[in-house]
Structure 1
Amino acid sequence: MTTQTTQTTQAAKAAPLPAATPVGYPRIGPGRELKKAEEAYWAGRIDHAEFARRTRELRRATRARLAELGLGAAAAAPESFSLYDQVLDAALAIGIIPDRFASVVGPDGSVGDDGLFALARGTVEQPPLEMTKWFDTNYHYLVPEIGPDTDLHLASQRLVELFTESLEDGAGTRPVLVGPLTLLLLAKAQDGAPEGFDPLDRLDDAVAVYAEILAELAAAGAPWVQLDEPALAADQRLTQTDLADALQRSVGRLAETVPRPQLLVTTPYGGIDDLLPVLLATGVEAVHVDLTRGGLPTVDQLASVGDVQLVAGLVEGRSVWRTELPTAAARLAELRTRVTAAGGSADAISVSTSVSLQHVPHTLDLETSLPAELAATLAFADEKITEIVALAAGDVHPGDIDGPRSVPRTFEGVRVDAVRERAAATTAADTDRAEYAVRAEAQRQALGLPDLPTTTIGSFPQVGEVRAARAAHRKGTLDDAGYEQAMRDEIARVITLQEELGLDVLVHGEPERNDMVQYFAENLEGFATTEHGWVQSYGSRCTRPSILFGDVHRPAPITVGWATYAQSLTPRPVKGMLTGPVTILAWSFVRDDQPLGDTADQVGLALRDEVADLEAAGIGIVQVDEPALRELLPLRVAQHEDYLDWSVRSFRLATSGVQEATQIHTHLCYSEFNVVVGAIDALNADVTSIESARSRGEILEAIDPGAFPRGIGPGVWDIHSPRVPSAEEIADQLRRARAVVGPERLWVNPDCGLKTRGYAETEASLRHLVQATREVRAEAEVPAGA
């Protein structure tokens, strides 16, 4: 293997990484400037020149802020900006463009901003790239599609342009690119690829293009480039031996590239264990290790450290809790001891974050309403940078009782004895219901639904009037009576529309909800919400995760009034709509002072009370959404069983207190659910609706009708794209699904809720959905041979 002493002269003479450097930073802007610019451009309210000006100004402001925080040296700040998604950026950089999008490729083989958005959002003619969860986070990435004949080539100068731009703003940033191994491990075979083709078959070709990118960045004067290889922290379809070989074939070969900048390879989201010696020996100049979810490397694992600079991810980049700085300083000191024992330089260690700070909000400075005791325990992105700067400067020492440290969370609401006693008293009987066959017959008689019943997932488009009414009520300019009337008017409109469209099971449309988790956080004890704590979920979609700091309980019913009002307007069944305990945890910043399973049980019991009240009020169908079930699945298989045990238990605690005739639904979306089909079955829901359209029905391949006997609704309309599917397209999906699960268990629904869509496309798509369903039902009524 190549060693550090054989590296290029250029790399050897370059400066080391600064002592403090995060591996990523939020890119949406503290005021969601990126979201606003994108959506204005997509809507045609601004032209491309203005769009480019706004995004340029956002990057300039970001670099200035990072310099202000202590990251003004060359390569100290990562250039982690992206217009939409870092995986899509990497794919486009090397020419991974599906054949079906050939029209967006320019004469020089590049793809402009409009082409990038076409791949991300779809067009009238083509559905977008599949979207799924980024490791075990709530960020979504776009899945590259590659085939054996995909023309891999240097297709983008965006990295060079961003670096050159950063020189105009200061000392220059560190270009960041998803590494070739992770990129291809996350990719899927393009439609039409030969059976057995694996995207990794193109690894050597991809590495050759990455080498060209590095040469371009070297010519532009970049002293460092960051390659993100988070796939090393997760179990893969490769054996460890094959993964080590692929690491050498990719990173190792790039380390041999001449000319190139110095290379920092990051390994966020967990420990990489025995792959660390392999990575250290590849010849790269710096290696990042996640020391919050991974342990300190042993002396043996550091044996090949040599002159490699370690970047120690000591500050957790996925939570909002302040770092216990004396403890982190002690770990840093121990790491230095081990590096010295392994023959390396204790001084050649930089302090960093465990992962990119894209997973936390920009800054606490904008928050004015958080309780002071809680705020004192928090750190957002800017505050975490302050922490790594302090650690790197030696401003805090192991055992330093006067240094910065976390404030203990002992204030009111953190511990509620009654909540803990109730959770401790639960038994296995609290998670059981009657056999499904008994429930199915009771529900058939109670609901009287046809085969292939049609429904939606929950939310309907949130028009400006609804958002304005919520905002006015929040500000106090609209009283409670006026707000309630505005919401009732919208619910009545949504119910009337669904009846006119011909849907079988209706929803109230959720106009009163700002976000499917925040709404419940605002109505449960143990949570706090922020004013400006926005985090990117995907593209222009941002959420404000709530902060779960204490024991959770429900002081009063939350959804019952809205659901019963909606049901009073129609003879058709209306679903009660709740968010499940796992998703509430996954899409919040959760306390770290007790096991997640204990917190999930508390949330499950709070929701159990809500389900019981909905049933008592006459709501015959209750949907408890768990789109994040797959999201929290640990990256290592050895940890799956424990996670699936407590996550399934919390859902069943929430849903098992009802009568046989009450139908329990759940919904899952935008993750690779094939690997947790057993857990989905164990939820014991009567009906499971699941994202399927964007992944082109892949979940159906994992379903064994005998092993999954309950109702299922594989989504037939990708709602994250503005594209309206035709009735014929939906009918084809239904025929395929019916062949797998049978007509008696098949439900018809979109992939997800409709809040982000407009009414014109929503009505058109739902009309096509109902039309396709009636067509497929009619086919089943025609006698064979007729």
Structure 2
Amino acid sequence: MLKHNLGYPRIGIQRELKKACEAYWSNKINSEELFQVGKKIRKENWKIQEMANLDLIPCNDFSFYDHVLDMSFLLGSIPDSYLSVPIENNIDLYFSMARGFQENGLDIKAMEMTKWFNTNYHYIVPEFNKNQKFYIFSKKIFEELEELKKILKSVKKIKPVLIGPVSYLFLGKEKDKYFHRMDLIENIVPVYIEIIKNLKNKGVDWIQLDEPILVLDMSEKEKQAFTYAYKKISKSEKNILLTSYFDGILENISLLRDIPIKSLHIDLVEDSKQLERVLNFVKESKIILSLGIINGRNIWKNNYTHSVNKIEKTIESIGYDRVMIAPNCSLLHVPINIEYERFIHEDIKNIMSFAQQKIYELNDLECIIKGNTDILLNNFSLLEKSSKSSIFHDKKIKEKIKKIKNEDIQRENTFNIRQIKQKEKFNLPLFPTTTIGSFPQTKEIRSLRNKFRKKELNKEEYDQKIQCLIVDVIKKQEEIDLDVLVHGEFERSDMVEYFSDKLNGILSTENGWVQSYGSRCVKPPVIYGDVSRTGDMTIDWICFAQKKTKKLVKGMLTGPVTILQWSFVREDQPIYHTSYQIAWSIREEVLSLEKYGIQIIQIDEPALREGLPLKKKNWKHYLNWAIQSFRLSSSGVKDETQIHTHMCYSEFNDIIEHIADLDADVITMETSRSKMELLKAFSVFSYPNEIGPGVYDIHSPRIPTVEEIFDLIEKASKKLPIQNIWVNPDCGLKTRKWEEVLKSLKNMTEAAKIARMKLSNRPS
């Protein structure tokens, strides 16, 4: 039985990668210094996995920005526009694809970005032309292999990792009309074969090809591409570990029937029921079965009893030598080391496990299989104790959620009636302008919050400084001439973490950082118990901001589904129970904001699409409780109170009717990177409520021109009634610099004013 890992977090325990990348982008360090940071992180990761006695250690799982972008770079899939970027080395070209380039007269937008399956990780979307050619462009995978060989002193323990050809094509998009990206399979497979041969020539025995497309509802074209690809690949190399994750593969298992791969990895965390049928499928073959039994997307200790049962069943069916054990997916999605957490209650910390601990759990399982029952008994005792601890349970909250009624999830009147009342009350112009909520979180602001946390500032001093920042940002927004303002969110480190600190049943970590995209890292809270609101969470700051202006100021909240999806969630009750608990807490805050005179309240739900099950057969149940959760949080207000929500960086076309069911008065969405492609769905469906399609990309440092923003507004006006269109960035401005923000927002308001003059006569 072999122990292996699919991938390890690459940010560094103190977010060294983030700091190095941002220093490089600011010209504070050179490329060699950046590369040294990457080398140090890789070495530390490999050493940890070697010390944990893994039999196979992944390489090429490290990335300076995104592993899908790395594949585009490896395969030479680089759009022509980026080849004009002046570079000292390829890393500048690489970063320009991810972040855009605006310098020396060149103005190139960043490539599109979207969510990695149903996770909060964002990847850079590959772009394909009809006659796309592929070739080995980057040598990164080969260089890292040589690097790891020197550390391990043995190439036999190294397992290079690649996104498989079918999943890579699936993750991209066509830039030309009248062709399907799967038509490129014949062009791309020879390059994969060449890469694999080069790796084999360097002595590796195992090559991991990730094909998460296998857990999806594959089309016939995708199935044909898969069959073609792996028949070709297996002719030249059979030592392939084919990995699937995030769900089960039963619907597509027949595709593997005639493909002589060495090993197959299945996800038994997300779909444990598939094991029996997979065993029946591989029983008569020589395929080694890799069991994904450690949860790579949550932070709770593994239940060894459950895992051992699966391992023993597999050994009994196909034999000890044909079994591998691993996390179900890459550990990219969890923090690095629980030992860096000093202030978590002992009863909770004792049942938590981060990436480094998960690697050692594989060792424990192997020891149990070999007869060490003490480890099994200790694990059982620990989990049993936590299940009975009062810290995890609150009967009053459980009872409150059971009593939710249908009227709790319905607004008093329909949108048509509410819209008339709101327009009379607010008297906003056509194409009203606003932002999504946050403004730049500078080094000084982060330092201020840190000093308050460390008690170097008392509450009065801290509050005064935050108030000064709010006064300043209100003034800036008035000078830009935005129509609806925000308070800036300077008191918030993160849109989810801030609320977790103010709710019972949720905790924040000190160093539980996880990569969201590029240099953007988040600390997902841990929902360990029943959730309830202890008191007002946002009232003071938002009411203070409203007193400083005659314009409307939005109340800013994070929605229940997003708090749920962007947290590590307890596993001892149905997830929708936890969602309703959070929703009720947000509802109480919404009603409090309304009571204190806040007339527009935004409840952000960027994670709604991300939580959607990967298989359509499971959508109905999820969408039912997710939409009810949002409506529970938002439906208690009067008609005149305008509810906004925000969503970004996901594909929404296939759930557009369900988004309408949220019944938000205004929805703001990301559309700038995709050049308003999303609006096709909104216009075909005739989305009934108001919408703010994002008119510029905040994840890039480039400043959009007035002309290009107006062009996007005009595109929107051809698809939607003009009285329903808002003008806004596509996401919060937290990660940007003030210089970029002020210029971009000024251009945005100017474009909106031009639109009012030029488009006001367009039929509604």
Query: Please, what TM-score do these two structures have when normalized by structure 1?
Result: 0.93
The answer to whether 1:183 aligns with 2:160 is no
Q: Distance in 2 between matches of 1:760 and 1:305?
A: 65
Moved more, 89-98 or 541-550: 89-98
Counterpart for residue 552 of structure 2: 573
Q: 1:579 to 1:336 in 2, by over 3 A?
A: same
Counterpart for residue 355 of structure 2: 381
Give how far 1:245 is off: 2.9
Matched residue SS, 1:551: strand
Matched residue SS, 1:549: strand
Counterpart for residue 377 of structure 2: 402
Residue type of the alignment partner of 2:447: A
Q: Distance in 2 between matches of 1:783 and 1:647?
A: 37
Counterpart for residue 239 of structure 2: 262
Counterpart for residue 61 of structure 1: 44
> Contact 1:326/1:403 (CA < 8 Å) preserved in 2?
no
Moved more, 302-311 or 181-190: 302-311
Q: 1:256 to 1:403 in 2, by over 3 A?
A: farther
The answer to whether 1:205 aligns with 2:182 is no
Counterpart for residue 115 of structure 1: 93
Structure 1 or 2: larger helix share?
A: 2
> Contact 1:326/1:397 (CA < 8 Å) preserved in 2?
no
1:391 to 343, 365, 375: 365
Q: Distance in 2 between matches of 1:261 and 1:361?
A: 34
Give the superposed CA RMSD: 1.9
Q: How does 1:624-773 map to 2 (within 5 A)?
A: 624-704=603-683, 707-773=686-752
Q: How does 1:229-268 map to 2 (within 5 A)?
A: 229-236=211-218, 238-239=219-220, 242-257=221-236, 260=237, 262-268=239-245
Q: How does 1:446-465 map to 2 (within 5 A)?
A: 446-465=425-444
Q: 1:733 to 1:221 in 2, by over 3 A?
A: same
Matched residues, percent identical?
38
Q: Distance in 2 between matches of 1:570 and 1:632?
A: 38
> Contact 2:59/2:144 (CA < 8 Å) preserved in 1?
no
Counterpart for residue 5 of structure 1: none
Give how far 1:594 is off: 1.2
> Contact 1:214/1:261 (CA < 8 Å) preserved in 2?
no
Q: Distance in 2 between matches of 1:244 and 1:24?
A: 26
Matched residue SS, 2:241: strand
Kindly tell me the number of residue pairs found equivalent between the two proteins.
749
Q: Distance in 2 between matches of 1:521 and 1:100?
A: 43
Give how far 1:413 is off: 3.5
> Contact 1:175/1:225 (CA < 8 Å) preserved in 2?
yes
1:298 to 263, 269, 277: 277
The answer to whether 1:416 aligns with 2:397 is no
* Residues 735-784 of structure 1, C-alpha deviations (whole Å, 9 max, x = no match): 01011112100000000000000000000000000010000101134699
Q: Distance in 1 between matches of 2:209 and 2:284?
A: 18
> Contact 2:302/2:361 (CA < 8 Å) preserved in 1?
yes
Give how far 1:412 is off: 3.1
> Contact 1:449/1:504 (CA < 8 Å) preserved in 2?
yes
> Contact 1:688/1:712 (CA < 8 Å) preserved in 2?
yes
Q: How does 1:422-461 map to 2 (within 5 A)?
A: 422-433=400-411, 434-461=413-440
Residue type of the alignment partner of 1:476: K
Counterpart for residue 40 of structure 1: 23
Q: Distance in 2 between matches of 1:783 and 1:589?
A: 48
Counterpart for residue 777 of structure 1: 756
1:76 to 41, 57, 75: 57
Counterpart for residue 330 of structure 2: 356
> Contact 1:21/1:352 (CA < 8 Å) preserved in 2?
yes
Give how far 1:299 is off: 6.2
Residue type of the alignment partner of 1:188: K
> Contact 1:550/1:591 (CA < 8 Å) preserved in 2?
yes
Residue type of the alignment partner of 2:614: L
Q: 1:614 to 1:213 in 2, by over 3 A?
A: same
Q: Distance in 1 between matches of 2:126 and 2:473?
A: 37
Residue type of the alignment partner of 2:62: F
* Residues 304-337 of structure 1, C-alpha deviations (whole Å, 9 max, x = no match): 6522211111111111111110221011111223
Matched residue SS, 2:3: coil
Q: 1:399 to 1:291 in 2, by over 3 A?
A: farther
Q: 1:756 to 1:598 in 2, by over 3 A?
A: same
Counterpart for residue 137 of structure 1: 119
Q: Distance in 2 between matches of 1:783 and 1:243?
A: 43
Give how far 1:251 is off: 2.1
Q: Distance in 2 between matches of 1:445 and 1:677?
A: 28
Moved more, 219-228 or 547-556: 219-228
Q: Which runs of 5+ in 1 are unaligned?
A: 1-17, 340-344
Q: 1:703 to 1:19 in 2, by over 3 A?
A: same
Residue type of the alignment partner of 2:321: D
Moved more, 37-46 or 509-518: 37-46
Q: 1:234 to 1:440 in 2, by over 3 A?
A: same
Q: Distance in 1 between matches of 2:230 and 2:645?
A: 42
> Contact 1:397/1:403 (CA < 8 Å) preserved in 2?
no
Counterpart for residue 91 of structure 1: 72
Moved more, 261-270 or 666-675: 261-270
Q: Distance in 2 between matches of 1:709 and 1:626?
A: 19
Q: Distance in 2 between matches of 1:305 and 1:724?
A: 60
> Contact 2:46/2:57 (CA < 8 Å) preserved in 1?
no
> Contact 2:87/2:93 (CA < 8 Å) preserved in 1?
no
Q: How does 1:14-53 map to 2 (within 5 A)?
A: 19-53=2-36
Q: Distance in 2 between matches of 1:151 and 1:281?
A: 28
Residue type of the alignment partner of 1:123: F
Q: 1:542 to 1:437 in 2, by over 3 A?
A: same
Q: Distance in 2 between matches of 1:374 and 1:127?
A: 45
> Contact 1:269/1:290 (CA < 8 Å) preserved in 2?
yes
Give how far 1:175 is off: 1.0
Q: Which runs of structure 1 show a deviation greater than 6 angstroms over 4 or more consecutive aligned residues?
A: 396-400
Q: Distance in 2 between matches of 1:280 and 1:22?
A: 25
Counterpart for residue 275 of structure 1: 252
Q: 1:68 to 1:280 in 2, by over 3 A?
A: farther
Counterpart for residue 10 of structure 1: none
Q: Distance in 2 between matches of 1:744 and 1:594?
A: 44
> Contact 2:441/2:490 (CA < 8 Å) preserved in 1?
yes
Q: Distance in 1 between matches of 2:278 and 2:19?
A: 49
Q: Distance in 2 between matches of 1:765 and 1:718?
A: 10
Residue type of the alignment partner of 1:654: S
> Contact 2:530/2:578 (CA < 8 Å) preserved in 1?
yes
Moved more, 592-601 or 638-647: 592-601
Give how far 1:63 is off: 1.1
Q: 1:621 to 1:491 in 2, by over 3 A?
A: same
Residue type of the alignment partner of 2:256: L
Q: Distance in 2 between matches of 1:123 and 1:412?
A: 54
> Contact 1:535/1:542 (CA < 8 Å) preserved in 2?
yes
> Contact 2:283/2:317 (CA < 8 Å) preserved in 1?
no
Moved more, 582-591 or 223-232: 223-232
Q: Distance in 2 between matches of 1:247 and 1:441?
A: 53
> Contact 2:238/2:260 (CA < 8 Å) preserved in 1?
no
* Residues 501-551 of structure 1, C-alpha deviations (whole Å, 9 max, x = no match): 000000000000000000000000010111000001111110000000111
> Contact 2:692/2:725 (CA < 8 Å) preserved in 1?
yes
Moved more, 557-566 or 143-152: 143-152
Q: How does 1:285-364 map to 2 (within 5 A)?
A: 285-294=262-271, 295=273, 296-298=275-277, 301-303=280-282, 306-339=285-318, 345-364=319-338
> Contact 1:326/1:400 (CA < 8 Å) preserved in 2?
no
The answer to whether 1:174 aligns with 2:159 is yes
Residue type of the alignment partner of 1:88: L
Moved more, 509-518 or 376-385: 376-385
Counterpart for residue 454 of structure 2: 475
Q: Distance in 2 between matches of 1:596 and 1:214?
A: 42
Residue type of the alignment partner of 2:478: E
Query: Please, what TM-score do these two structures have when normalized by structure 2?
Result: 0.95
Q: Distance in 1 between matches of 2:373 and 2:226?
A: 36
Q: Distance in 2 between matches of 1:769 and 1:555?
A: 39
